[in-house]
Amino acid sequence: MRPTLICVLLVVFVKQALGGGAVVYGSLLAVQAVGSLIGGLIISHIGNHIAPLRLVGVGLVAFGFIDLLIIDLPLFVPGLLIVFVLFILVGLPSTGSLVGFNASLPPLAHSAPRDQVG
């Protein structure tokens, strides 16, 4: 799920930079969901071989780089195809960073409060 500010700015990006409307906005969200599902499948196979915090770091850097391309490429390359492809690709680092973050939380939790009951 995207933060609220990003959702609002994505609407402006679709309208101003891409010249699209509701159909383009909905299509972008749909292909990003497909990318996240593909990312989940890939991470499920390689996730055990990568440390969780490394997965977070690499995922966030890749996410930022792909988002930078999503924002800047429409200025130089006309058309929606490259944006749709990048929205699919951004699903892998997005899912990877989220999985890595969630996997890194349990070792950081203290076990004392879990041992006590009421």
Neighbours of 116 (CB within 10 A): 6
pLDDT, tens only, 78-108: 889 999 999 999 989 999 999 999 888 877 6
pLDDT attached to residue 87: 93
Question: Is the model's pLDDT at 114 over the cut of 60?
Answer: no
C-beta separation of 74 from 111 below 8 A: no
C-beta separation of 13 from 66 below 8 A: no
C-beta separation of 95 from 36 below 8 A: yes
Q: What average pLDDT does the structure give for the chain?
A: 86
Q: What is the rounded distance in angstroms from the CA atom of residue 33 to the CA atom of residue 62? A: 17
Band the pLDDT of 8: cuts 50, 70, 90.
confident
pLDDT attached to residue 105: 82
CA-based nearest residue to 12, from 1, 29, 25:
25
pLDDT, tens only, 38-83: 999 999 898 788 898 999 999 999 999 999 999 999 889 888 999 9
DSSP, res 47: G
End-to-end CA gap in the chain: 34
pLDDT attached to residue 75: 87
Q: What is the rounded distance in angstroms from the CA atom of residue 56 to the CA atom of residue 70? A: 21
pLDDT, tens only, 16-30: 989 999 999 999 999
Q: How far is CA 64 from CA 35, 59, 71, 94, 109, in A?
A: 16, 9, 11, 10, 28
Q: Which two tokens stand for residue 31?
A: 């292909």
